[in-house]
Chains A and B, each alone.
Chain A
Amino acid sequence: MPEPGRVRIPLRRHIGAPCVPVVKAGDEVCAGQKIADSGEFVSAPVHASITGRVAEVTDEFIVVDGNGKVVAPPVSARHYDDLSPREIIEIVREAGIVGMGGAAFPAHVKLTPPEGRTFECVILNGAECEPYLTIDERMLIEQPEKILYGLCALLKATGAVRGYIGIESDKAEALRIMEEAVSGHEAIEVVPLKVVYPQGGEKMLIKSILGREVPVGGLPVDVGVLVHNVGTAVAVADAVGEGKTLYERGITVTGRGVKRPGNLSVRIGTSFRDIIDFCGGLTEDAARVIAGGPMMGRAVAGLDEVVTKGTSGILVLPEQEIGLVEERVCIRCGKCVDSCPMLLTPNNYAVCSRQHLLEEARKLNILNCIECGCCDYVCPSKIPLVHLIRQCKDEIASEKRKK
């Protein structure tokens, strides 16, 4: 997609401390230039995504009006072989790279293992986080060399000895292209995965590929694993190989509410309106606009919403697909229990949430819920289970803070 005329770049959309602007209104900036940073470890700097003049600076956003000029970014060709792990991690931080599957957790933090832990392998997630999204597949097909380069850089940075690329088995072309790309790299393996949501969930992916379960309340590093999205690997390759910072990303624009769906590369801070205009606009019956996928994505109230580093897609659903349904009483069918990938009992959480039985819910491991939405999807009584679980988790968290 061509550069938009104006971008509104969010300063606190990734997980971690908000960034402080280092530019002021009226400054000239060029694409890729750092415009905000933070001294905190768990944070990532923010870069201008188009060349032009800073129009407005707030605590939340920096607005840049483009001038249409394309300034060739300074090329700094480096190779991961010549860099130390520490240097690679610093490059990743400076480039503002965050997890691009959706969580947007600063990548350099994940690359730094806690005291006393080491990484044994790196898994690249090419399994699409959610139904409808196809951006991972496009990346695998179009940029296999970059993905491989990024994976090698991540292996070097972490000291891990094995690399895996997980791809769902119905993506035949992506599997073939990636297999070809990694041939000759003995430490790297392409793994076909069963096509089932939520295969792209971090914990599910590790279980599928290595047979290991991340302990309750733990992190992948607890089983010696680092998981990154293929999009993140591309960003790492760009940063290490070309010195390019993270100011654009691939997104899927889809759903029956969009006239010309597709996968696009867009600048961070581009409004949904600009993107949807580029995709031919919305259909008459477009009823819900979602940042992300249908299972875990966030419904937005208007098209002024902007693409952040963590936006994996824009999904627009028509009226008939979201048909509002009346909630009914639980008939104890147990479908939610059967569907839960984390082997939990969502039916119990609904009761606990409504009756504020926080201790009971905690004992039943409610905090292990990944909010994937499977239970909610299958519930024949259409009980808003994910919503109830979130409320209960929030209550538990605020009780904990009080203590």
Chain B
Amino acid sequence: MRDIFETAPSPHIRDSRTVDSIMWDVVVALIPVMIASTYFFGIAAMRLMVVSTLSALIFEAAVLKKNRTSLRNFLGDGSAATTGMLLGLSLPPVIGTEAGYLWVSVLGSAVAILIGKHLFGGLGRNPFNPALVGRAFLVIAYPDIMASLWIVPGIDGITGATPLRMEMQQYSLLQMFLGDIPGSLGETSALAILLGGAYLLAKKHIDWRIPGGFLGAMALVAVLHTAGYRGVNADLAQNAAREVLFQWFTGTAFLAAFFFATCYVTSPTTPNGRLYYGIGCGLLIILIRYYGRLPEGAFFAILLMNALTPLIDRCTVPRTFGEAGFR
């Protein structure tokens, strides 16, 4: 029988959840979205996802300079794969249809990983969501590619209009829910995003407060906007419901609420903080949509809220157990 044992501070047991397992679970949660985007946009979608993910992994490996000869080491902690995949899913499919545009996605991954993530110190230290930094750069640098060439699913053609404007009205809510509409790869199918989001919620990887506050705030403003625009009358409930669903299902609202806003590193750590942050994102996105000039405000809304995260954290330190005052 052994007689000498190692000691260590308590606790002596630990949850099996690790950074890696959480990151790869996010990739798992994206599977329905990957399937939906491949279904609606075909081989172009696959090409784009592979290129953006692979390039993100290569840039990550280059920065970390670790021994990445084995596949396992190359895949790393899963954070670069998650970033690359999310970036790819936020790009318009036109980048994948023509080989001549694929470099745009590589450039996006480079900005995301090199500038968005490692310039600030790597995983856990980046104030802004790296995938969104990459995407924001592309939107500003290449507005033509990023926001005016849209592919209509099932038709081999490129339309010139931007979604979320008049053109969207021609699609039914069911089409929007399923994802049979033009848009970026991963954002069109609300159904697929809901499946992935439900998986993350069920595994307790994300807190309902962020998507809840996000979509709730959007809905509230949409109802008020409808009431103001169309007047308070008998049809208000129906009009408002349609408007809320329209705002949720089009553009990047759902993908942003479940996958971008919930990024651990760039969102608050306190429960109340997460709720306020979610509400802030929702308010900004809908105000940009109604009153701003950008066709889609989701990414900038989240980046702005990322910047507020440290402040929110400081202001929402919870009331500790036994602290006098409110309950």
**Is B238 at the interface (CB under 8 A from chain A)?**
no
B123 touches A337 (CB 8 A): no
Provide the residues of chain A in CB contact with B271, threshold 8 Å: 334, 337-338
User: Per a CB cutoff under 8 Å, which of A213, A334, A377 touches B14?
Assistant: A377
User: Per a CB cutoff under 8 Å, which of A296, A329, A333, A337 touches B22?
Assistant: A333
**Is A330 at the interface (CB under 8 A from chain B)?**
yes
User: What is the bound-complex CA distance between A335 and B3, given in angstroms?
Assistant: 37
A213 touches B322 (CB 8 A): yes
User: Per a CB cutoff under 8 Å, which of B12, B22, B265 touches A380?
Assistant: B22
A301 touches B5 (CB 8 A): yes
**Is B11 at the interface (CB under 8 A from chain A)?**
yes
Provide the residues of chain B in CB contact with A373, threshold 8 Å: 10-11
Q: Which of A45-53, A237-245, A283-291, A394-402 contacts B (4 or more CB under 8 A)?
A: A283-291
Provide the residues of chain A in CB contact with B64, threshold 8 Å: none
User: Per a CB cutoff under 8 Å, which of B13, B122, B270 touches A377?
Assistant: B13
User: What is the bound-complex CA distance between A334 and B205, given in angstroms?
Assistant: 10
Q: Which of B89-97, B102-110, B186-194, B313-321 contacts A (4 or more CB under 8 A)?
A: B313-321
A296 touches B11 (CB 8 A): yes
For the complex formed, measure the closest distance between the CB of B208 and the CB atoms of chain A, giving whole angstroms.
12
**Is A317 at the interface (CB under 8 A from chain B)?**
yes
Contact with B along A355-383 (1 / 0, CB 8 A): 00000000011001001010011111110
For the complex formed, measure the closest distance between the CB of A296 and the CB atoms of chain B, giving whole angstroms.
5
User: Per a CB cutoff under 8 Å, which of A203, A213, A345, A390 touches B269?
Assistant: A345
For the complex formed, measure the closest distance between the CB of A314 and the CB atoms of chain B, giving whole angstroms.
12
User: What is the bound-complex CA distance between A183 and B236, given in angstroms?
Assistant: 60
Contact with A along B2-32 (1 / 0, CB 8 A): 1111111111111101110110000000000
Provide the residues of chain B in CB contact with A387, threshold 8 Å: 9
B11 touches A341 (CB 8 A): no
Which size bracket describes the interface of B in this complex?
35 or more
For the complex formed, measure the closest distance between the CB of A20 and the CB atoms of chain B, giving whole angstroms.
30
User: Total contacts A to B, CB within 8 angstroms?
Assistant: 162
Q: A341-B321, A345-B318 are in contact. Are A382 and B5 (CB under 8 A)?
A: no
**Is B124 at the interface (CB under 8 A from chain A)?**
yes
**Is A73 at the interface (CB under 8 A from chain B)?**
no
Provide the residues of chain A in CB contact with B8, threshold 8 Å: 288, 299, 322
Provide the residues of chain B in CB contact with A386, threshold 8 Å: 9-11
**Is B268 at the interface (CB under 8 A from chain A)?**
yes
B270 touches A334 (CB 8 A): yes
**Is B264 at the interface (CB under 8 A from chain A)?**
yes
User: What is the bound-complex CA distance between A218 and B323, given in angstroms?
Assistant: 10
9 pairs of residues in contact across A and B, judged by CB atoms under 8 Å: A207-B321, A288-B5, A290-B10, A322-B12, A329-B122, A343-B318, A345-B270, A364-B317, A371-B10
Question: Which 6 A-B pairs have CB atoms at the shortest separation, nearest pair first?
Answer: A373-B11, A334-B269, A299-B7, A329-B124, A387-B9, A333-B264
